[in-house]
Amino acid sequence: MNQIQTMRVFVCVAEQQSFRRAAHHLGVSNALVTRSIAMLEGHLNTRLIHRTTRNLSLTEAGVRYLDGCRALLEEFDHLESSVAHAVREPAGTLRVVASGLLSPLALTPLVSSFRHRYPELRVQLTVAEGPLDVLDSGYDVGIVTGTRLDGNPTLIGHALAPNPFVAVAAPAYLERRGEPRLPDDLPGHDWVTLAAHQHAPAWQLVGHDGVAHSVTVRPACTVNQLALVHAAAVAGAGIAVLPEPCVASALASGTLVRLMAGYRIDDPDTQLSLVYPNRQYVPARTRSFVEHALDHFSAQPARERTDYGFLRPSRGPDRSDIVTGLQ
């Protein structure tokens, strides 16, 4: 007797409330269903089902056995699924969502190297300008910034790399407005930022003496894309705070000038994270991407890690880039 298969027949009969409907649902004959239940009752030496010409019902033992069968079959199916995932090569479409605050330099080499490693996998990459909804939108993985995952049971997160920011401005702007030397000089300047969804951003500047200065600025120009912040700064619209790799070439050419070089822009939210739904059995394609991304980032020399840059969200210090659907 195939105990697992016989249990499945019993559960189906109990759920369908009919031998005939159970046989139809399972795609087997009525005789096979009847024989399976008889064998099961004989094996257990107890009656599980009361059957009349009109209906059937479970005995007390049958109710108890049904609960146990459901739990056991669920665990059995999970076990088979986990083994299948472990041995199956990743395939299908990987849906990745990334924060629009990320530098494009963070995404291109990562996705390209992953596709080279798993050419049979398709990658669907979405760049979201607003808060990311990894769960409800059906994404496999999210690459996010400024995220707090403590106590969030719906997501698994891996911190990838913090990232240094630099304050920059065009020479033409500095000729017109003067160059700020101290943190107290900054609020009086024009700023170019991403659009604030709640209130103006606050930046933490730490000097060589370790003293932190909180600077709140009022943007003169707000845009919705990182590239536009860069372009507006180059055009002389004001001061911008950008990931260092985003402005490296502009600094080298003199198109932009670094400001406040004696201060480090520091904030606990300057963190790049990889997140994915917390499920008992994670698809092979997701596991493969997570492992590849962790290897990819850890392989970067410390100086090169700034290539995975992002601009801190222009919300307040309690902002999270992830929408989980849980309050």
Q: What is the pLDDT of residue 231?
A: 95
Quote the pLDDT of residue 217. 84
243 lies in some domain: yes
156: tokens are: 């698994």
pLDDT tens for residues 43-74?
999 999 998 877 899 999 999 999 999 999 99
Query: What distance in Å separates the CA atoms of residue 104 and residue 35, rounded to the nearest whole number?
Result: 64
Query: What does the alpha-carbon distance between residue 295 and residue 307 come to, in Å, rounded to a whole number?
Result: 15
Query: Angle, nearest 10°, between helix axes 60-87 and 3-16?
Result: 120
Same domain, 256 and 170: yes
For range 106-118, the mean pLDDT: 88
Rounded Cα distance between 246 and 230, Å, is 8
The string of pLDDT tens digits covering residues 260-311 is 999 988 765 566 788 888 877 678 889 899 999 999 877 664 444 433 333 3
* Distance, CA of 196 to chain centre: 23
Q: Pick the last residue of a domain from 49, 79, 109.
A: 79
Q: Does the pTM of the predicted model rise above 0.75?
A: no
pLDDT mean over 117-126: 90
CATH code of 144's domain: 3.40.190.10
Considering the domain architecture, whether residues 254 and 288 belong to the same structural domain is answered as no
Q: What is the mean pLDDT of the chain?
A: 81
Tell whether 312 is covered by a domain: no
Residue 63 shares a structural domain with residue 133: no
What does the DSSP 8-state code read for residue 132?
Answer: B
In a domain, 33, yes or no: yes
Q: Is 194 found in the same domain as 71? A: no
Q: What is the pLDDT of residues 248-264, one digit of tens each?
A: 899 999 999 999 999 98
User: Do 152 and 188 belong together in one domain?
Assistant: no
Q: How many domains does the chain have?
A: 3
Q: Is residue 19 in some structural domain?
A: yes
Distance between CA 58 and CA 174 in Å, rounded? Answer: 84
Residue numbers of the domain that contains 60: 3-79
Return the sign of the alpha-carbon dihedral for residues 227, 230, 234, 238.
positive
| AA identity, residue 16 | Q
Contacts of 299-304 spanning 24+ positions with Cβ under 8 A: 300/161
327 within domain boundaries: no
Give CA–CA dist 309/162, Å, rounded: 8
Q: Are 306 and 164 in contact (CB under 8 A)?
A: yes
* pLDDT reported for residue 89: 67
Residues 244 and 222 in one domain: yes
